[in-house]
Amino acid sequence: MRIVQACCRSLIVDTLPIPKQQAGSAWASRMASMGHLIGYIVGTIDLVEMFGTTFGDTQFKKLTVIAAVALLLAVAVTSWAVTERVLISGKESNSKEGVLQIVRQIFHATMTLPPRIQAICWAQFWSWIGWFPFLFYSTTWVGETYFRFDAPQNMKESKDALGDIGRIGSMALVVFSLVTFVGALVFPSLIQSPDEKLFTPRPPTALAGFLTKFNMYKPDLLSAWMCGHLMFAGAMFMAPLAHSFRFATTLVGLSGL
């Protein structure tokens, strides 16, 4: 899965000209958010009751089959529609380099990154220590919070308590994906683009005054990125205080920003 994600991200750089790469990344985020939203909505449905034991006798098995089929279809369409440019290198030594030489080059490039790029990599590294448990265990956490504080007694005695926890937790991730999708649509117009200074805006006369004042206070990309990390950190610090399903869902939804 990670290999496919890495290849999809590199396609934006490999196939799009530099002026369009920013728009391509934005659309990739929007499509990923839409895919997450659809996937989490499917997770809230009792697939075992709907389809029986076809393609698996548990909710997890059926979701795995659906995800695998969707991934294969998406990769097949991408492979058919995208034509990459062939890189012809002028260095004769490339074909003679062994694995150790390639590893040395990667290690050297990693250790000699420009300070600004190195700071971004470190920020991403430490943030993923927080994102890893969120992505893997947030569904279970929200579902268990519901069962511990809000669930009626008859639901606690359910024969499929684990499936109920997963479906209830998926509802929180539906909210998370919906917030992420709306943010991917709205935020590009609220954040100052690095290329914005190269263009001369010509808004309608009636809106010119408002838009001029609004553009003066638009945050840049770095400030928005920092605020996003701080908001996620704040939501994670408040997680132990969640004693209701609504509060836990709110924290998950805030993480989508």
pTM for this prediction: 0.69
Give dist(CA 176, CA 141) in Å, integer.
Answer: 14
How buried is 111 (Cβ within 10 angstroms: 0-12 exposed, 13-18 middle, 19+ buried)?
exposed
pLDDT reported for residue 217: 75
H or E, element range at 121: helix 115-149
Tell me what pLDDT residue 234 has: 92
High-pLDDT (> 70) share of the chain, % = 82
pLDDT tens per residue, range 153-192? 766 666 766 677 777 888 888 888 888 888 888 887 777 7
Between residues 195 and 74, which one has the greater pLDDT?
A: 74
